[in-house]
Amino acid sequence: AVSAGAKFIVSPGFNPKVVDYCLENNIPVTPGINNPTQIEMALERGIEVVKFFPAEASGGLPLLESMSAPYSGIKFIPTGGINLDNLTSYLSNKKVHACGGSWMVKANLISSGNFDEITRLTKEAVSTMLGFEFAHLGINEENKDKALNSASRLSHLFYFPIKEGKSSIFAGSGFEVIKNKFLGEHGHIAIATKDIYRAITYLKMKGISVLPETAKEKDGKLKAIYLDQEVSGFAIHLCKNNF
């Protein structure tokens, strides 16, 4: 495979000869595992990411969770039985590095040259993984008094409850009025996502970066961060949603 141009190796099982050859020749390798013995074989060789295959037939997410519990230094890429219905459940596990699935690239689609459908299915999978959705609209004000006035007006008109924080005042969950003007000429648009880190990687592939100085963390985990681009005078920030 390497002589034919392969840049990395992903195998269905753990063949020590193949794995050792790859490691000795600095070829990235992700061997397949489905039991603790194989996990320990990988850890013994310094491998930190393995393929969990066949995921569903081996016991699915319950097996992965129980099998991986004693091992803190390894991540998994489940494949085999992964589809749009269970993708989010697998990706919600902290030890899952990524998922793979053939439902996006079925043999009949490839043989018929139906790459439009392959593209559609792949985009659908990415959309499911990221789960982008509108979270709230941020409105910039010059000071606390003006922010409170704007939030109170929204509350008076639409019965939105007021919740005041250090830097902003929420009117319901859909409006955040900033006490002192921040990024964006008019304010900001908050976009929620299932996984901020995966969203950042995805957007980077589209040429969009984040502003590290705007990162907000809680308990050591990234909860919100602004992008380096605006839309119609509105800054955009990502935030974690619940799923």
Instruction: Judge contact between 148 and 169, C-beta under 8 A.
Output: yes
Indicate the residue type of 180: N
Give the mean pLDDT of 36-42. Answer: 97
Is the predicted pLDDT of residue 98 greater than 60, yes or no?
yes
Give the mean pLDDT of 185-196. Answer: 96
Mean pLDDT rounded to a whole number for the chain:
95
What fold does the segment set 9-99 form as a domain?
A: TIM Barrel (3.20.20)
Give the mean pLDDT of 53-82. Answer: 96
Instruction: Judge contact between 192 and 134, C-beta under 8 A.
Output: yes
What's residue 2's pLDDT?
86
Residue 85 Cα distances to 90, 103, 124, angstroms: 10, 11, 12
CATH superfamily of 133-240: 2,3-Dihydroxybiphenyl 1,2-Dioxygenase, domain 1 (3.10.180.10)
Model confidence pLDDT, tens digit, residues 130-184: 999 999 999 999 999 999 999 999 999 999 999 999 999 999 999 999 999 999 9
Rounded percentage of the chain residues whose pLDDT exceeds 70: 99
Q: List the chain domain ranges.
A: 9-99, 133-240
Give the mean pLDDT of 67-74. Answer: 93
Query: What is the biggest distance separating any 2 CA atoms in the chain, rounded to whole angstroms?
Result: 71
Structure-token pair, residue 49:
């990411």
